[in-house]
Structure formats: C-alpha cells, structure tokens
Chain A
Amino acid sequence: MQLLFEKSVKGRKSSILPPCDVEQVTLPGSCLREQELRLPELSENDVSRHYSALERRTHGVNNGFYPLGSCTMKYNPRINEAAASMPGYTEIHPLQPEHTVQGCLEVLYLAEKYLGEITGMDAMTFQPAAGAHGELTCIMLFKRYHEARGDQNRTKIIVPDSAHGTNPATAVMAGFKVVNITSGADGCLDLDKLRAAVGEDTAGLMLTNPNTLGIFEKDILEITKIVHDAGGLVFYDGANLNAIMGVIRPGDMGFDCVHLNLHKTFSTPHGGGGPGSGAVGCKSFLAPYLPKPQIVKTAEGYIENYNYPESIGKVKAFNGNFLVTLKALTYIVSLGRKGIPASAANAVLNANYLMKRLSSCYQVVNTGICMHEFVLTMEQEAKEKHVTANDIAKALLDNNIHPPTVYFPLIVPEALMVEPTETESKETLDEAADVFISIYNQAMENPEGIHKKPEKTAVGRPDEVAAARNPVLRYQI
C-alpha cells in the first residue's frame, strides 16, 4: 500500500481556512525557515481513503477476539467516547479560571473518589499519562518519602523476576538500584528470598497481584508486612487490577500506593498504543508528595490546590490526559457498585473457562483456579517439534484472533499469556478454543506448515532482524 507521501501530487490541496482578514506580517529572513516544507499534498478524499485502507489493515477489539495477556483488551463502551466528545469538555482551555471549569474539576474529584474506593487509597493524581508513567510517579513518591524522613540510605527497589520490564526500568529512572528476586514456579514471591533481600537499604517493593502468571499471591499480607517491617514501602502495579476490582482492594492488602491503567481496566480504550492514563493512588501519608495541583472540594466549589510544599512537583503539563480520565469516570458511573465487581468476577470466570478448554492439549503452567489470565507454555513442543509460542501466535492471525502475549513472563519458556476479559461471550470463547486446539493439532501433525503462517494477512512475517540492522525510520522524499 502506498504512503501518503507517495500519493502526494504537487499543487493538490484542500480549502480549509478563509483568507486572512488582517494585514499579513512577515518576519526578518534570519528567523525564517529556508528548507522547503515537504508535507504531502492531497485532497480530503485522498486522506479519507488512505486512513480507511489503514483501518482495514489493523485489528481492533471491534474486529474480533483480542486475548492479549496483561493488556486487558476488553470491549470499550462507546458512551465513553460520546462523553469525551462533548464540547463542554473538549473546548475547555486548561488555564481557564477555576470557576469556569467546575465540571472538569468535578470529573477529577469524582474519579479520585471512586477509584480511591476501588483501590483502597486515600488520594490520587491523574497527571501520569500511561502505566509506566504512573509507576514512575509512585516510585518518585517513595523517594520523596524517604528523603523527607532523612532516610538517605534507602537506595534499592526490590523487583520480582516475573515483573513487567517497566518495573526495573522505572526504579532506575527514579535513581534506585534494582534488586531482582526470583519467583517460585507459580510466579509467587518466595518469602524467604524476600526476607533475605530486605534491609536498611530497601526503599520499596514493586509487585502486581494477581501476579503475571495469573495467580493470587496468597501470602500478600505477609509480603507487605515484611517490607514495612524493614522500613520500605510497597507499590501495587495495577496491570492486573481487572481480576479483583471491587472484590479485594490493594489498600487492604497493605500496599502504600498503586498505579492504574485506565486504558485497560477502565476501558478508556488503548488507541493503538495511547493515549492512556496511569492514574496514581496513595495512602494519606504519601499524599503530601503527590504531583501538584490536587483537586479539593470546598464550600465555594472545587479548587486546584498548589499548596503542597513537599510535592514531587509536576510529572506532566496541565491535568494529565484529562479526556481519558473522563472516559474512565463514565465507565465507573455506568457499572456502579455492582457492575465493577461483577466485571472482575466474569473476567476470572472467562479465563478459567478458556483455560479449562485449552488444557485439553496445551500445557498450562499453573493448574488450579487462575485469576483473569493464565499462561501456557510451548517448551516441550518447541524442543520436540520446533513449534514455538510464536508459531501458534502467527497461526492465530489467520483466524481473526489477536494472539496472546508471547514470551512473557520471562520466567516461563515459550510462554503464551491469555487474558480473555469479561466482555467476551461463551460463544466467542468456544470458537476461540476450537481455533487454538485445531492450530495445535495441525502443528503437531505438520510442524513445517505452521512456520509459513500467517498466509491471509496484509503482509507475511516481517523481517525484524533486517529492520533493526539497517533501520529505515522515515520515508525518503
């Protein structure tokens, strides 16, 4: 398919702006651009057709099943979009006077209140724009907390080896050293290793629960106690909140702060990679360190309070991805006190049902009840038949199913991480299970055949090695 630049025709254009109604000014030549501005020259029709073609070459949740583990690809209610398109939100300048933005401030206030209730946290910020950004904000809170107490020797953050790669990368961005500890076979934290790892240099622990293998950390209270007793804090990575939202609260498990992926758990949606929102919640003792401003309700209305002298400052301009926060609020208002836990429980049910169906041929890493996701391993098949997790993924592409997350968590060889979410019907799960099983059986019979997959997609398997070796990162005009 052609690029916009290849469709460009010199002199073609759309008529968008009226003529200038004031005297046109020019700047001295020394200020001006000399390079020609080589953007595409197109008609509006060209642009429309182009993006419709690109849409056809993309798979979204609206196109079919998307069980991408750890990403919570649930259905994204369109009322979220309708709310976020209301001019009363889209046309509001971030620097308008407070009394003219009471609706926006109420959105932030209510989102804080509701998400605080769901997570068991006392205060929140919506400045972080994505999950990794939220993680970073949390670990910055830890840093400021220890700093404020004059506890300068707490230089290490403990991260289990089952954690998402953003955890260790985040700890480093906040100036900490990373202590990796190995997990048990079920992905759960090894308490003895944790006890051995904590000490006077421990700033905190980064943990998700349920863990990346989809197992609930049954010793969670003991885990948070061990870290607290050593003087450290515990961060809840919200990647897997969808399993427990409204059922169990991180705050009650002993976590000191959480980050949420509003684009996952609260359906805002993912937008091809963003914009998301990495909202952060914390217990009251960390609240003074949150980014500024915080929204406060007073008798006269909502205000943006900047008076937090111990705040870490700002992590992003203005009020974060406000319209994303707005969509999350819309979702919570729709679901309410019963819909939230019902969604979590159904996510868990769907995962267990699909796991049961797939376990007829695939090797499930942990048998027993899983949470919202589960992990399969192709280790045996890769050794014996050269059929890998990636092969299964590529074969799924021909069946209008987005593959599970592959090769994560790192502690499982040849991993396929499956997260069906609560919004899929039994029929969808059954159809998907049939496809998974038939792909598996075909691959076992004819291992060569699966290496050629996919065959029905817009392109075949791209040569990623060549892409990295000789990077072509822009079109040469």
Chain B
Amino acid sequence: MSATDAPTGEQLLSVYRTMLVSRAFDEECMRRLDRGEVVPHFHSGVGQEALMVASVAPLRPEDQIIYTHRGYGHLLAKGVSVLEIALDTYNKTGGTTEGLGGLMHVNRPDLGIPGREGVFGTRFGVAAGLALAEQLRGTDGVCVCFYGEAAGARGPLYEALNMSKLWELPVVFVAENNGWSFTSRTEWLYPTRRMSDAWTGFVDVEVVDGNDPEAVWSAVTSSVERVRAQGGPAVVEGMTYRLDPHIWWDDASYQPDAEIAAWRERDPVPATRRRLTELGFASDLLDDLETSARAEVADAFERADAAPEATWDTARERGMV
C-alpha cells in the first residue's frame, strides 16, 4: 500500500454520500418492516457501508463486481440508482430485473455488474472467468468479488483461487467478515475466526478494518492496482459487523444486545462523518448530504410504490425473456 492509494478528502466525501444513501435505503426498509409490511428478500447492510462502498468507489467504470446478497452499497457505488433497486425490491416494472430476479439479482452489465448467482459459491468461478476474459482480450479490467461467511466456506473459492493464481488472473476476492452467518458465529465456521487465514501464504492477503473507509479504500486500491498490473489474485478481508437482522423476517434474537451496542460505537456512518469534520468539511455540508440522501431514498420508494407490477408482458417488451 502506498500513500497514493489513500482517498482524497473529496473522494472520502463521495464515499460518505453513497454510504448515507445505502443507510437511508436500509432504514426505510426497516421502517416498513416495523409497520408490518413485507420487503421481499431484503438483507440490511447497516454497519457494513464502509466496506461495501469504499471497496467499489475506487474502481474504474470497466472494472466488474460480483456483490453479495447483503446491502446495496456495492450497487450504489458502481452507479445503480436507488430507484432501480427499489423497483427491483417490489418486482415493479422499470427495474433491472423486471420481476424475474427481484432484489437478489440487481444487475447492470453496462456498469460492470453482470449479475449474481442464487446458490452462493458459483460467484468465485464466474469472477475468475470474467478476469480470464480480460486477460484473453488483453484489456485491463479487474473483477472484484465480494463474499460472506457462507459462500467463503464452499469449495469453489479454493478452486477459483487456485485457478486465478495458476493463470495470474486480475481478480480480487473481498471477504466481508461481519461476525455472523445468519445465526452462526463466524468462529463456529472458521477455526481462526478469520475468513482469509487459509489463503495466507498462497495468495496476497490483507486484513483491514472494514468500518474504516479510508483503510478499506487503500487496501482494495492497492490490491486492485497490483493485480491489474501484475496479475493476481488477491484477497482482502474486511472486519465488520452486521448491526441489523440477517433478513427481513429475522428478529436477530441470537445476537447479544451488548455485542450490538459495542459495535454501534464503531458504526462507520457517524465515524466517517467525524473524520470528514476533522478534514475540514463543514457541518452544513454534511447535514445537507444526510438530508438529500434521505430525500432521494424517499422519492425512490414513493415512485416504486406507485409503479406498476412487472409482468411477463413487460418483461417481454423489454427483451428480458
């Protein structure tokens, strides 16, 4: 990692803006759940915004990502609109999947988001294939593949790492270690509690504070630029915590209150605001960002609520089937 890998103040401000939109999206979904509504397939990313957003923000437009089921910061940081995500959430017409893939398969190949598998684990091979395509074409795009405790325990990760190392593919695997795999603690699934320890010594591994967007930005940037220049792969593990329940119908009763409270102290959203204040950004500006993020999300949900349902006919009209 070099000093040039660190984000500028303006870049951190941009990351913060996207983190706020991601947070506002999740909070709106949680409010709807509290009202007794259904938010199909919603997996809150609250607490993980720094890792999601600061990993994607430094990428080039031609770089591709494979995101996880949790949180929408990756998508927002790559350029997907809140409105598209809201439309896909409710299977309304006009989203990216037109009722066929819902919130779980938001995609914009033109933005470097080719899609996501339904059974966790296929993504590792897909990421290697996307990176192999870059290598075969002689282009210099990088694929960044995010994964959680579930996918990371599956064999395809080993297979893809081995192939990527063998062929020096430009791919970075970002482990999102958020302490829990649904009701299972990470340390019940990984002997050292670290998701990347098994790969240390085999490929380049960097473990980073996933709640520090500057550290995440720097780690991912240095890994991405190294594999872009020299081939890869690399693994970055971000240590973070899931502050909300796993999925919309989960009550998270298995997560101790004291543990959640301790991690709330390390919530990346207020922490990033404090850092921006240190860097000299005015409170008014930061307040305005928060207000506009909430307004953008409210507007998106209002429009999504009013939008017609997607149908086989609308999917056909849009050439999606």
Answer yes or no: do A and B interact.
no
CB within 8 Å of B: which residues of A? none
CB within 8 Å of A: which residues of B? none
